[in-house]
Amino acid sequence: MKIAALLAACLLTACSGLTESLVVKQFTLRDQDTLKEGDPMVRNEKMRRLYGAVSLEERKSKLGQYYTALWSADAGVEKEIVFSYQQGGSRIKKMRSSIPVGTSEGKQEFAIIGDDYFENGRVLAWKMDLLVGGETIASKKSYLWE
């Protein structure tokens, strides 16, 4: 009886772990061919990114790098996600996404695709910040970010 109670307590404790307030997922879409992918997860992600692009020019404009931020924060405060990145040059570029008051979790997507990707090159270093009330509460960055 005591062993069963101890086991149940361990399982419930393991499931109630703290969740991160910011998680960043990356995906690079290098080519348009979905048939040569052996991994079904990669093939599905490619098909999702290319969805709706019919002509070769439309499909080419979808090639590039995608960054998805999964976030959670206090619902009653104004929030913003700032994506800073460097491409071929040393200049730091920023993309911002404001999050309306009243939402406590969500997903924001940032994309460097099309002409920006082909003319300026791939992203070499990046940093994603979650700002709540103007203050940074969570940050993720790539290995090469200074």
Q: pLDDT by residue (tens digit) across 65-75?
A: 999 999 999 88
Collapsed DSSP state (helix, strand, coil) of residue 43: helix
Q: List pLDDT tens digits, range 89-134.
A: 779 999 999 998 998 999 999 999 999 999 999 999 999 999 998 8
> How does 114-143 read in b/e, with b if 16+ C-beta sit within 10 Å?
eeebeeeeebeebbbbbbbeeeebbebebe
In this structure, is residue 74 part of a structural domain?
yes
Domain harbouring 121, CATH code: 2.60.40
Q: What is the CB-side half-sphere exposure of residue 35 using CA atoms within 13 A?
A: 0
What is the number of domains present in the chain? 1
Parallel/antiparallel/unpaired status of strands 79-86 and 92-99: antiparallel
Closest CA to 125 of 98, 73, 88: 88
Predicted TM-score (pTM) of this structure = 0.81
